[in-house]
Amino acid sequence: MHFSLKCVLFLQALSLFSLFTQGQKLEESMDEVKIEVLHLPENCSPKSKKGDLLNAHYDGYLANGTKFYCSRTQNKGHPKWFVLGVGQVIKGLDIAMMGMCSGEKRKVTIPPSLAYGKEGYAQGLIPPDTTLIFEIELYAVTKGPRSIETFKQIDVDNDKKLSKTEINYYLKKEFEKDDKPRDQSYHDSVLEDIFKKNDHDGDGFISSKEYNVYQHDEL
């Protein structure tokens, strides 16, 4: 199969990425993620921790060098946003991206038990028992969307629920912090995505209960 086709197929499958990893039974394993730091900025802080919202590009390779994933070809080349340590990505990536700062680059090797295990993924694109290698470039480490500090910060009128206006304003400020310009349509799609995933009762607000699904902070 031609590489680019493979990539497209995988990207389609990848939209199920978070779904797939949620509820996935991880086997107990002593296998470890191997981390090589390729670039470390002089000022390396803050360092990422569980619950932080990260913005990163990453390329994925099989051990034989075949590239199976490329975040740069997805979503108009915008780096991906995800919450660290909550199963939005495979277990190995959650481990591999801890303690990482903005601007840092890592090459990480993830054993099958912390990736797609015995079953593999995407109809053989990732075969069973495959070790995966990712090259990661981290652009931003921000306080996670699920921290109590962040909730209070977003909830400007202090009514214990987040309106679209409040979140829109917060996102705008966050995006202004890094100097990579983003167009309005990207901004809108992030906002829409946030409500689709979090406003479970559909009332147009994200309540503290809806917000705090990972419960690593008490509201």
Q: Which residues bind Ca ion (CB under 5 A)?
A: 155, 157, 159, 199, 201, 203, 205
Collapsed DSSP state (helix, strand, coil) of residue 61:
strand
Question: Contact 84/48 with Cβ under 8 angstroms?
Answer: yes
Q: Which is nearer to Ca ion, 109 or 198 (CB)?
A: 198
Shortest Cβ distance from residue 204 to Ca ion (Å)? 7
Question: Contact 191/178 with Cβ under 8 angstroms?
Answer: no
Shortest Cβ distance from residue 167 to Ca ion (Å)? 9
Shortest Cβ distance from residue 185 to Ca ion (Å)? 24
Per-residue DSSP letter, 183: -
Residue for token pair 């090459």? 107
Which residue blocks in 98-183 are alpha helix, DSSP H?
A: 148-154, 164-177
Q: Which is nearer to Ca ion, 131 or 150 (CB)?
A: 150
- d(CA 209, CA 44) in angstroms, rounded, equals 34
Shortest Cβ distance from residue 22 to Ca ion (Å)? 21
Q: Which is nearer to Ca ion, 119 or 201 (CB)?
A: 201
Question: Contact 171/110 with Cβ under 8 angstroms?
Answer: no
Q: Which is nearer to Ca ion, 137 or 166 (CB)?
A: 166
Q: Which H or E element spans position 105?
A: strand 105-110
Q: Which is nearer to Ca ion, 18 or 163 (CB)?
A: 163
- d(CA 112, CA 127) in angstroms, rounded, equals 10
Shortest Cβ distance from residue 173 to Ca ion (Å)? 16
